[in-house]
Amino acid sequence: MAKLNLKINGEVKEVDVDPSTPILWVLRDHLNLVGTKYGCGIAQCGACTVHLDGTATRSCMLTVSMVGNSEITTIEGLSENGDHPVQKAWLDVDVPQCGYCQAGQIMTAAALLDKNPNPSDEEIEMAMNGNICRCGTYLRIKKAVKIASENS
């Protein structure tokens, strides 16, 4: 265990954890930020997606020791009032069914649009393929990403 500082959602948080702890569990069990979800633990499902210096990253395999001074953004920190263009598009299109994968989908989409504001369908698919939706809302996810890209 070690006392370490992490930059999360614009704040510096001190945590007392083993440096090999994945950020996913630091968020969920130590910082009360449960928006980032556990789905598989091996970076295959995308439910744990956060931004690391703006890049979509699977936090289940991102250990504290890897983070250093980088900034982490979680779903809770994506916007002040849930009004990021991606979040608004998600509500506009009424994307979710069960909702469990959606924070990860939104984080991946937000990072994509940040780097590529006008992605083609193929580019959306490639970027989002790492995020499984068991309920099958893929068509609406894609539609919402396109609407968000028009509105940002």
Partner 1 sequence: MNQIDKHIGRRAFIRNTGLAGGGLIIGFSWLNSCKPKNISTEQALEMPKEWFEINAYIKIGDNGVATIFCPNPEFGQGVMTAMPMIVAEELDISWKDVLVKQAPFNTELYERQFTGGSQGIRRSWEGLRMAGATAKQMLKQAAAEAWQVPVSEILVSDGVLSHEATGKTAGFGEMAAAASNMEVPENVETKAVKDFKIISHSKKNVEGKQIVTGEPMFGLDYQYEGTLIAMVEHPPAFGLKLKSFDDSEVRNMPGIVDVFQINTYDDNFVRNFFDTNAFPDLVAIVGKTTWEVMNAKKKLKAEWEPITEKKLTFDRFGSISEVTVPSGLESTNKHNELMEKMASQPGEIARKDGDPESAFKNAAKVLERSYSCPFLAHNCMEPMNFFAHVTEEGIKLAGPSQAPSIIESTLASRLDVPAEKIEIEMTRMGGGFGRRAYGHYAIEAALISKQAKAPIKLVYSREDDMTFGIYRPSYQATYRAALDENNNLIAFHVKSGGVPESPLFANRFPAGAVDNYLAEQWVINSNITIGAFRAPRSNFTAGVEQAFLDEVAEAAGKDPIDFRLELLKRVKENPVGEENDYDPDRIAGVLKLVKEKSNWGQTPPGVHRGVSAYFCHNSYAAHVVDVVMDGDQPRVEKVTCAIDCGIVINPDAASLMAEGAIVDGIGNAMYGNMTFTDGKPDHSNFDTYKMIRQNEAPKEIEVHFVQNEIDPTGLGEPPFPPVFGALANALYKATGRRFTKQPFSTDKPPLVG
Residue 98, burial from CB neighbour count under 10 angstroms (0-12, 13-18, 19+): exposed
Total of chain residues touching partner 1, rule CB under 8 A: 59
E-strand spans in the chain?
2-8, 11-17, 49-52, 55-58, 71-73
Residue 2 is a binding residue for partner 1 (CB under 8 A):
no
Q: How far is the CB of 81 from partner 1 (least distance, A)?
A: 8
Closer CB to partner 1, 7 or 88, in the complex: 88
Cβ pair 30, 17 in contact under 8 A? yes
| Out of 41, 61, 71, 114, the residue judged to bind partner 1 by CB under 8 A | 41
Cβ pair 141, 128 in contact under 8 A? yes
Residue 124 is a binding residue for partner 1 (CB under 8 A):
yes
Which range, of 21-29, 51-59, 65-73, 111-119, touches partner 1 by CB under 8 A?
21-29
Which range, of 27-35, 51-59, 65-73, 111-119, touches partner 1 by CB under 8 A?
27-35
Residue 29 is a binding residue for partner 1 (CB under 8 A):
yes
Binding mask 60-99 for partner 1 (x = CB under 8 A): --------------xxx-xx--x----x--xx--x-xxxx
Closer CB to partner 1, 35 or 114, in the complex: 35
